Amino acid sequence: MPRLSVNINKIATLRNARGGNIPDVQKAAVNCQRFGAEGITVHPRPDERHIRYQDVRDIKPLIKTEFNIEGYPSQPFIDLVLSVLPDQVTLVPDSPDAITSNQGWDTIAEKEFLYDVIARFRSHGIRTSIFIGTDLRYIEYARMSLTDRIELYTEPYAREFKAGREKAVEPFVKAAVLAGELGMGLNAGHDLNLENLKYFADNIPGLLEVSIGHALISDALYYGLENSIQMYLRQLE
């Protein structure tokens, strides 16, 4: 059964809109674990418009399951990760002004850069994952970076799901098979929700973890946080 890592960025977005500490991001992280989440994901960006660097430092001691930090590997981000030592770091190619992650790495053009960054994290015992699309060439080159895992960027699947789920999932199945053949673990995330998650999880071989934030936190407005986490876990059974 794939693990569910809950991305709590949107809770920080709500807090930052008003100032102060309501809602409490640390309490949300603790509650997500208590309600069944098997991991907590945060994605600090340079402008700190949602999760702040200090949030990452404050949350780390509270995590009893798995802590995953996502982000573009700028020097401040690398320094943060090495000071916090999460269980996993997920590298994304976001530009500073990106609203959300909207593409995977070009692992051919960025081969040497990724190799050097991943080597630093691996030397500190941190599992690494590269955010990537379904282009099989990029997955092959991801292996050359010595990353432990890749995280498939699933927005194209979510976008095409209603028009035809078999066609939508097909490139992800091929990508998953290749990742397994190359010895890399497989994560997935972006726009997975209660409508499309089960079909994805049922059809992707070797899927280890999904990271879900926006949809799950939005569903929590209707169903409550605990119930929403349990609903997502049931989709992964």
* Active-site amino acid positions: 43, 70, 190
Q: Are 86 and 68 in contact (CB under 8 A)?
A: yes
CB-based burial label for 79 (10 Å; 0-12, 13-18, 19+)? exposed
Q: Determine how β-strand 149-153 pairs with β-strand 185-189.
A: parallel
Phi, psi of 48 (to 5 degrees): 50, 40
User: Could you tell me which of 209, 152, 180, 143 has the C-alpha nearest to residue 3?
Assistant: 209
Nearest-10 Cα torsion for 95, 100, 105, 106? -60
Neighbours of 12 (CB within 10 A): 21
